[in-house]
Structure 1
Amino acid sequence: MYTTFILIVMLAVSIFYSFKRTETISNATSTQQILSKEEVGKKVVDYINKNLVPPGVTIELSRVEDFDNLYKVIILAGGNEIPVYATKDGKTLFLQSFDMTVPLRREEEQQTIKLTTKLLNKINKKPFIGSMNAPITIIEFTDYQCPFCARHSKQTLPLIKANFIEKGLIKYFVFDFPLDFHQNAEEAAIASRCANEQNKYWEMHDILFEKQQEWSYSNEPYKIFKEYAASLNLDVSMFEKCIKEERYKDDVRDDYLIASENGISGTPAFFILRTNSNEAIPIRGALPYTEFERIINLLLR
């Protein structure tokens, strides 16, 4: 999850800022100037955005709660809620709390989930990139109107392709998970299926993300999708017929139901597993390439 990313990237910073003050929290809170939840929440988000996340990533504030002598600041990252903690004077930030009565999970004990037979069976009907005999499978759950999904497609997926897919180590599948509040996400998913009839699924997949801002809030998305079809040298009349018949509407919705049955609630989300296994390591949110690399290498051992 995104928390893992924050811990990996910023652990040194976390330790420094958590312990740079010598007084205990109880002593600090007795003399410190108490700021409001809103003030501390804003300070935390501003600090993280300016100092702790890579370019192109923006953290947002969800809410702030009391937590003993601290504030618990709930931030939004990659569609996930993550708690961090701050002193009430807004001077010290703690990026994670640990329950010291429970041992930390070792990397070799990475949490897995069992995938449903329905999901595993549907994989065989999906277009994919990579080698049929690849030892690792990645399943992505995406929404073409989701900005974090677009970032994954443009920044992280090319690295996975270069370092693993093109070396025959991964086969990569996509399931559609169009969110209700994205007005054209389902239409885009249908367009990708119609392009697949002419063996241009991945080309349409890429152009939909590349030009996401162009069609996302259009009142006539299919008109724009037809232009993309023409640019990809598709038979536009065949593509248009597929769109008008809503040939894949039920199939897109079936993807959504299968995803929900497997615990998916937001995008992007991923399952990484050894091919022919039903146990997968989940990734939720647009995590950086390094997290994918870590899990892939763990499964390749």
Structure 2
Amino acid sequence: MMESKGRTIKIKIPAINFGNQFWKIFSLVLLVALVGSIYMNFRGVSFSGQLSSNDVGKKVIDFINNNLVQPGTSASLVSVKDMGSYYEIITSYQGQQIPVYATKDGKILFLQAIEMTETQKTQTQTTTQQQTQEIPKRDIPDVKVFIMSYCPFGIQAVKALLPVMKLLDGKANITIHYVDYIMHGEKEVYENLRQYCIQKEQRDKFYDYMLCFVQSGDYQKCLNEAKVDVNKLNVCMNETDQKYNVTKYYQDRSTWLSGAYPPFLVEKDLNDKYGVRGSPTIIINDKEVRVNRSPEAFKQAICQAFTNPPAECNQTLSTETASPGIGPLTGGSTSSGSCG
């Protein structure tokens, strides 16, 4: 039986998961809102002019509960604040207070407010921070990226990492690992196991599987496309499940961390060694580093870890930020979100 006392999981607001369709909806909302025309479709209601704070708050909560939260859960309204040109709506979901934002006519919902005057400064500071990190050097760098398989930001990191895995195949040891607790339900338990076993026993199929999965989320389709030996995979998943009591702990809520997060102990030794707390956590040559989530940024960070960088490090990869969550490879606006 796993001892869960004494460990507290902190939830960072940017990483809150409002449900399976959260990041698909968020990406659509953000994209269309930037050109000025995303509308909440409330049956039989038309908007003309400014609405009261109470009306907008109610419509936002209704929209979130009908579209974004996990089945069987709901968000509630805490407060609405007039910010001048828009409303700040504080919602409560699963014990966390989460701010969202809406225009005063109730037509446009923003899940994050970005101060545009600070954007360039923040981007410059982040880039400089990555460039000034001291990364230990080795002849063959060892790169470990810890994720939760359904964490939007973990998926974002994988999207940025995959081109580098392909580019530096045979030059650097780049592997994906799994955080020792679950935040995204039963599907994450078994997708973690699936990815773990493919990488462990069918490494030559892992890249193709992951490239498919981060875009479609359809593991059956991806197993077929990557030509994974499903019988061999099932044996590995069953053996790993039994060895580490994965399903047993998932079904026994008394073992859950903070009473909310099922343990996933398959790689607990590595989690403890590196002090992993959330998804993604990036370890290069046994040192935790922060990396902007574009293929080129990952390539530069890993190439800094070579004693003598190979010729492949001279190749320029995409500088576009990967998109969070399952979906298109690019289109992200931030490299700072995490789950956990």
Task: Settle same-fold status: TM greater than 0.5.
Answer: no
TM-score normalised by the shorter chain: which range applies? Answer: 0.3 to 0.5
Whichever structure has more strand as a proportion of its residues is: 1
Normalized against structure 1, the TM-score is what?
0.45
Normalized against structure 2, the TM-score is what?
0.41
